[in-house]
Every structure is written in C-alpha cells, then in structure tokens.
Structure 1
Amino acid sequence: MTDHETEDDREALDLLIRGFQVSRMLRLVADLGLADKIPRTGSRNISELATACAVLASPLLRVLRALAAFGVFRISTDGRVSHSPRSVLLRTDEPNSLHYGARFWTAPGSWKAWGVLDAALAGDTPHEAAWNMSRFQYLREHADEARSFDAFMANFPDHRHQALAASYDFSGANLIVDIGGGNGEALRRVLARFPSPRGVIFDRDDVVAAIPPEARLNGRIDVQGGSFFDLVPEGADIYLLIRVLHDWSDEDCIRILRNCCAAMNRSARLLIVEQILEPDPAIGRPSGYLVDTQMMAMFGTARERTGAEFDQLLQGSGLGLERVIETTSPVRVMEVVPI
C-alpha cells in the first residue's frame, strides 16, 4: 500500500468517524424544510433562506457550506444556494424522499439509544437502557415521533412498496390484509395497481387511528386495531408482512407467524417482504447491516435475517415456503402457505 493510499483511507475513515455530525446537520435542514424552500432550478440568497426558515443567516450559511462539501446543496461564494442531485432528494415532493429518513434516523428516541450501543454487548437493549422503556412504548408516548416513523416507512428509500405492487399478481384476491401495515402506503400502492381487491390495515390502535379517511381509497381500505401477538384477522386471500419480522426476536416471530397460519385458509397466501441479509458483508449491501444494527439498538434480539434464518422461522410456524420473488428493491417477497 502506498503512502497516498494510506492517506486516502485515513481521510475516508476520519469522515466515517465524524458521520454523526453530517447526520445531525441533515436533520437540522430537514426540520427546517429547507430543501422545499429552494427551487428545483435556480437559487436563493442565504439571507432569503434564513428569513424563510426564521433563523440566523450566519450559522445557516456555515451548516450549508459543510453539507455542500459532501455534495448536499450547492453554495456559491456570494452566498446563493441551489440544489445538487443529492439535496433534491430531501424535497418532500420527491418520490421516496429522504427528508423523512433525515428526520427519523436522528430523532431523539433513536439518537439516544445509539449513544449507549455498548449496552448490547452486555446483553441489554440499548433503547431500554437509554429510555427505561421498550421502543413501542416509547412511540406510544411520543406521538410526534411515531408519526415521523410512519412517514419514514411510507417513504423508505428502498422503493419497497411500488416494488411489491409490481412484482406480484394480486388480481385474483378479494381481500388483502396488511399486518402491521402502518399508515397503509404499501396497501394503497397495491390497490392502485389492482382495482378489484379490498384491503384491511391491521396495526396498533394508535397507528390505525392516525390514518385519515382520505387515505382509505374511498372505502376500499378498512382499518382494524389489535395486536398480531393475539390474533390476525381471518378471511383474507393474501396477507402481507412487510418489514415486520425484523422488529422481533425469533420466538416472537414464530408467534406472529403461527397466528398468521391460524387465520389462513388452505388457499390463502402470506407474503413476507424483507431484505434477506447476505452472510458475507464483502458482497452485501451496507444499508442491510446498518438496519440490522439499528434493530439491535432498538429491540435487542431483533435482526435482519439470512435465508437460512428465515427457513428456521418457518419450520417452527406451520408454514412452508413456496417461492422467493426478486424485486427491483433490496427486499424480496417470500410467498408462504400453510402446511
């Protein structure tokens, strides 16, 4: 390795070490809605932006200058700010906007838990060590952050919702139940593509209560509150579990899957939509391992899983894998049936 290569690696690692600083600045500009205040083409003076955001121009300039060094926004020497390809992704009108991720990943619940990540190495759950409560209890008690979580799930940058709708034929279904369906974005994507089925969003009472009538596709979507640890609604042709199992331990996942199995008739299908973790990080996607560590920070034994680990869950649940469907997203669709 040459001295030049060593210095390149040193600088790259140094920037990774200080990545939390970049994350926090991105959260700041997302909270200000700053990307929406800059036209897609053209620019605005820093003083105009500061006035629009009700903040001081000088510190805002310093934040934007630092972000521009990472390719987020462009700023001229005379203080005019315009979009870069990266900063456009922070606009709320951008498909799969990263505005919501910038606010969610650094929200207080997650931020404080990552501050005590070492608790996981002693067998504790960092979120519980930080907040003295479970992640879901925290979200119930912090409604603003819970709704931020819902918005982030609806705009997750892996394009999972449209990828699911495009990769599976739902045309033969009469009823689709989205278990742990959040604010219903995935189900809306599916029903928009397939006009015949109806849908049910099944999630915690506080989650479904936050879904406004206009988000229910003129009555095609019903909502039902409850816990998938107790039961799953019966009578659906297709059940969806989209990025649910990675929130839970193996024992909890098997309990959820058994309740799904109990609700399904012999012809029903369960679609488990998850990112299947590549065992070798040399060829896997970095985002997958970051999410895996996030699950550890939030829930302790929850995790992203390899294909073999999903097989083990199914073996204990009374369900069998029919096929795995690739999508245009990092997630895959595991089609599962009762056995």
Structure 2
Amino acid sequence: MMGPWAVRVASTLRLPDHIAAGTTKVSELAQLTGSDPDVLGRLLRYLSVLGVFREEAPGEYQVTELGEFFRDDHPMKLRRFLDQNGFGAKLDAVTARLEQGVRTGRTVYEDVFGRRFWEDQDDYPDPELSFNTLMADHTRWFGPDIRDSFDWGAHKLIVDVGGGTGAGTLLHELLTHFPGMRGILVEDPRETATSAAGSLGPIGDRCTLVRQSLFDPMPQGGDVYVLTNILRNWNQQDAIRILRRCAEAAGPDGDVLVLERILSAEDQHQIHVADANLRILLLLGGKERTLEEFREIGRAAGLELTATTPTGYSHMYLIRYSAAGRGHQA
C-alpha cells in the first residue's frame, strides 16, 4: 500500500523535476519543498528501493529511467494525475469508497464531495491540475494515433461532441493537420469550467463553438459526429440519448464515430481498462463497454455499428455507426 502513496507524494512535491534540475541533496530538497528533512530522506530511500530514484551518495539522489515518467514534462503527463492538489486527489478519494460503489452500483462522488461530478469542475485552485486540463493532456497524447487511424481528410465538416477545451481537443488536432477541414466543437458549459473560446489558436476561424447540453439537438450538417471518451461517462439510458441526438443530426448520409476502449474477456492485458471500468462508475456512474454493448446502444439510438478499427493507442478503437440499414454491420 505504501508504494502508490509514496509515488503520489513525490509527484506532488515534484521531486523528480527538482532532482533533474540539479537539486539532488535531501537537505536542499527539504528546504525547496517545505518538507521535514528526516522524513523526506526516508521517502527518497524507499522510492530508491522501488527504482524511482537512485542514491548516488549518502543523502544525494538522481532520477532513474522509471522516475522520468513522473516528471512534469513527460508526454504522458502522469505526474499531474498523481498530484494531490488536483483531480488526482479527488480520484483517490472516490476510489477509497469502492465498497460502497460495489454494494450500490452508483457513483459515490456526491457522497464524498457534496456535489455531483460535473458541478464540481470549478473547484481547482490550479487549473493545470483540473479534470478538464488533464483530459486535454490525454487527448494530445493519443491524438496523433487517432488522426492516423481514419480517413479524416475525406470529410469536410467534423462535429466534435463534448470534445473538451480548446487546444486539448481532437478537433484541434484534426483541423491543424487538415487545412481544408472545418469543425464544430460542442461543449456543455456544465461540464467544462474553462471554455474553448479564445484557445483554439490559428484554427479558430475554421471552428464554430457551440455551448449546449449534449442531450439537446445537435448542430446539423456534419459529415462525421465524433464522441471521444464521452459515452463511457454515462449510464445506458443517457448514452443512448446522446447517440440518438448525433444520429438525428447526422441524418441518413452522415456517420457517428465513437472513440473509446472496448472491453474484451479474451484480452488478458486489459488491466487498465478493467481499472477504468470501476473508476468511471465511482466518479460518474458510467462504464466501459463490450463490442456487443456498443452495438446494442447504437441499435437503440437508430444506428448500425458498421466498423471497428483499432488505433495505435492502448485498446482504443474507432467505432463507426451509420444510419440503420445503410451499411454492412461489423
């Protein structure tokens, strides 16, 4: 039990960053981070046993290859997920209530924090550690894999449904690489404390921002309606409602593209997907889904699942829906 918490404390104190920048002695690190020198030394010694740091001389440490993962500038941005001053602390707090979630089958977030998840997105003193910013970091990480896994260039107007905030959206990635493409970013103001307005940079003139509930009628005329890690946040009924709105807007000729992980009993290497399947219940009452479950919610929304394409990112698939009866089922 100590290992995960030790890594979280090191990430919160930014010890890998400080050591990599040249502050390597325990006494100096304690002064820099406002920590007790003796206990900080114990923490560093313990983490050196785990391989996060390496003790070069008594009371002096270096970052190992493993420890590099916890630096702030690592592309995975794992440090920010572990920092106890942001969303990571909230995630840890709800995880501690797993028994309650298993017994009730419901989210525990409101019981822990007094507000539902989406109502609590303004409660981050440091916006860089907020849920929305961390999700934007995540999208930047897998965005290139998604871009290379589908013929996006064949489409002129992409509607990014619930895409997030500005430069951290898949739409930003696509418009940056396809200059002939236009986009509509649909963001629910209840879910994004920081609006995308003003943060779309040079592609802003090709992107229209629409702020509305995901349960309201969607903007018409898109070639493809994209939902990136959206349906997993919702229970079965609400996921169908969102898909149905996309189906209505896409019409008989448009497509709905869902980008999510697919649960598979045959894949024994899905530990992080199985982990997320529990966490999303605790946070939002949502779930990860099997291929058959994706097919079922599509059918209920008037859509036919016509293709599933693996991406280069861990267990992430492009799940393509068309109007029922239009295409061949996958």
Equivalent of 2:115, from 124, 127, 133?
133
Contact 2:87 2:129 in 1 (8 A): no
**What is the CA-CA distance between 1:146 and the residue it aligns to?**
9.1
Q: Counterpart of 2:83 in 1: which secondary structure? A: helix
**What corresponds to 1:13 in structure 2?**
none
**After alignment, is 140-149 or 251-260 more displaced?**
140-149
Matches within 5 A, 1:1-339: 18=1, 21-39=2-20, 44-103=24-83, 107-123=88-104, 124-142=106-124, 144=126, 148-156=130-138, 159-183=141-165, 184-205=168-189, 207=192, 209-211=194-196, 213-219=198-204, 220-280=206-266, 283-300=268-285, 302-329=286-313, 330-339=315-324
**What corresponds to 1:7 in structure 2?**
none
Q: Deviations over 1:53-72 (max 9, x none)?
A: 34343322222222222222
Give the distance between the partners of 1:233 and 1:215, measured in 2 at CA: 19
**After alignment, is 239-248 or 168-177 more displaced?**
168-177
**What is the CA-CA distance between 1:217 and the residue it aligns to?**
3.1
**What is the CA-CA distance between 1:106 and the residue it aligns to?**
6.8
Q: Counterpart of 1:191 in 2: which secondary structure? A: helix
Q: Count how many residue pairs are aligned between Structure 1 and Structure 2.
A: 317
Q: Deviations over 1:137-180 (max 9, x none)?
A: 23245575795212222233994322111111211222222111
Q: Deviations over 1:4-60 (max 9, x none)?
A: xxxxxxxxxxxxxx1xx33333332323333332338x7722333333334343322
**After alignment, is 320-329 or 57-66 more displaced?**
57-66
TM-score norm. by structure 2 comes to 0.85
Letter of the 1:35 counterpart: P
Label 1:58 to 1:212 Cα distance change in 2 as closer, same or farther (>3 A).
farther
Contact 1:30 1:102 in 2 (8 A): yes
Q: Which runs of 5 or more residues in structure 1 are unaligned? A: 1-17
Contact 1:139 1:145 in 2 (8 A): no
Label 1:295 to 1:236 Cα distance change in 2 as closer, same or farther (>3 A).
same
Q: Counterpart of 1:88 in 2: which secondary structure? A: helix
Give the distance between the partners of 1:210 and 1:65, measured in 2 at CA: 43
Identity over aligned pairs, percent? 26
CA RMSD, Structure 1 to Structure 2 (Å): 2.7
Q: Which runs of 5 or more residues in structure 2 are unaligned? A: 325-330
Contact 2:11 2:79 in 1 (8 A): yes
Give the distance between the partners of 2:49 and 2:140, measured in 1 at CA: 25
**What is the CA-CA distance between 1:298 and the residue it aligns to?**
1.5
Contact 1:44 1:82 in 2 (8 A): yes
